[in-house]
Amino acid sequence: MLNLKSPGQYSAGGAKPPRLPGDKTHSHAAYIQIRDRIQQRLLAELNPSVTRSDTAEVRRVTERLFNDTLAELGLPLSRLERNDIFDAVMADILGLGPLEVLLNDDSITEVLVNGPDHVFIERSGKLEECDVKFRDNDDVMRIVERIVAPLGRRVDESSPMVDARLPDGSRVNVIIPPLSLVGPSISIRKFPKHALTPDELIKKGAFTPGIGEFMRACVKARLNIVVSGGTGTGKTTVLNALSSYIPEGERILTIEDAAELRLQQRHVVRLEARPANVEGKGHISIRQLVINALRMRPDRIVVGEVRGGEALDMLQAMNTGHDGSLTTVHSNNAGYVASCGNDGVDGRHGSTAKGDS
């Protein structure tokens, strides 16, 4: 078992942060006026057959309306300010609004929205508040809908919490009123653009070369591995790295709440849990997927995180002919996890190793 303790080890650093929307020289009020007018005219003039996915057509029409609107308002803007406002308008129409510039900044590892007026970011392991703001709660909810709708998920007063993911795999959690008293809250944990390899983790100090070789041998020998650690310590990052040691030719099943793992092997079946629909039906838990996976002839089972009843099913799978499986669990102490596993299942196979990250 590999225990992770130090947060912020895997954040990208060194890049100069770009200007945030609130840092721009144009006034926020002017931007809101331009954006609202363009959006109204866009709805009126854009061909109904054109969808949001038709980026080129939407951009062409938006650019024309943008130039017309600036001429009508007579705003004295520099070329840089015009480009900044146009990019912000396009992000509002096609992307995730004011969050777009934060998500495009590789030096930012987490984006935290506490209602419309307070947005925080994590950079190099440190939290800081930025000047990004939303107009109101409805503006935040509009972005939330853009995140969850493509995944077939929903969030409303009857179901005020949801886990989701962005197209790049970044993890998203949303909780809204009445449970959140500050307005809609969005927590985004960004993933690096490429999964870190074991060698890169060694260079960053997550592993020593000796631990890296030891974990390679454990995976090759089909020992079961549980990566433990607290929130934000890089459990999924390490799990991705360890999976790179799995030989080609093996059938791998991944099971997650929200798909984040990025295995490089060809024979991978990805399974994702599903929340209940509007009628409260159709919920598929990780535990159900683990049980079903046992019938799918897996050589390896990789579970993104076990936290409930599926933990026992996973331990049983590890000890009943499915050696070489990998998973993560929330814990500050690897020995405690091992003792819990021994209490739950008479485990005879596995590897327990502590490693500071």
pLDDT given at position 269: 95
CA distance 123 to 114: 17
Tell me the pLDDT of the chain averaged across its residues: 79
CA distance 177 to 253: 36
Q: List pLDDT tens digits, range 334-345.
A: 666 666 655 544
Given a cut of 90, whether residue 347 has pLDDT beyond it is: no
Q: How confident is the model at residue 16 (pLDDT cuts 50, 70, 90)?
A: very low
Peptide bond into 177 cis (omega under 30): no
Over residues 312-316, mean pLDDT: 74
SS3 label, residue 272: strand
Q: How confident is the model at residue 322 (pLDDT cuts 50, 70, 90)?
A: confident
Number of C-beta neighbours around residue 27 at 10 A: 10
Q: How confident is the model at residue 52 (pLDDT cuts 50, 70, 90)?
A: low
pLDDT given at position 356: 37
pLDDT given at position 7: 41
Q: List pLDDT tens digits, range 217-259.
A: 999 999 989 888 887 788 888 898 999 999 998 999 999 887 7
In the block, which residue shows the tokens 């070489």?
324
Do residues 228 and 335 make contact, with C-beta atoms less than 8 angstroms apart?
no
Write out 286-333 in H/E/C secondary structure.
Answer: HHHHHHHHCCCCCCEEEECCCCCCHHHHHHHHHCCCCCCCEEEEECCC
Do residues 116 and 130 make contact, with C-beta atoms less than 8 angstroms apart?
no
CA distance 330 to 103: 26
pLDDT given at position 338: 65
Q: List pLDDT tens digits, range 123-164.
A: 988 999 998 888 889 989 989 998 988 887 888 888 899 988
Given a cut of 80, whether residue 20 has pLDDT beyond it is: no
pLDDT given at position 336: 64
pLDDT given at position 51: 54
CB neighbours of 283 closer than 8 A, spacing ≥ 6? Answer: 274, 275, 276
Alpha carbon 71 to its chain's center: 40
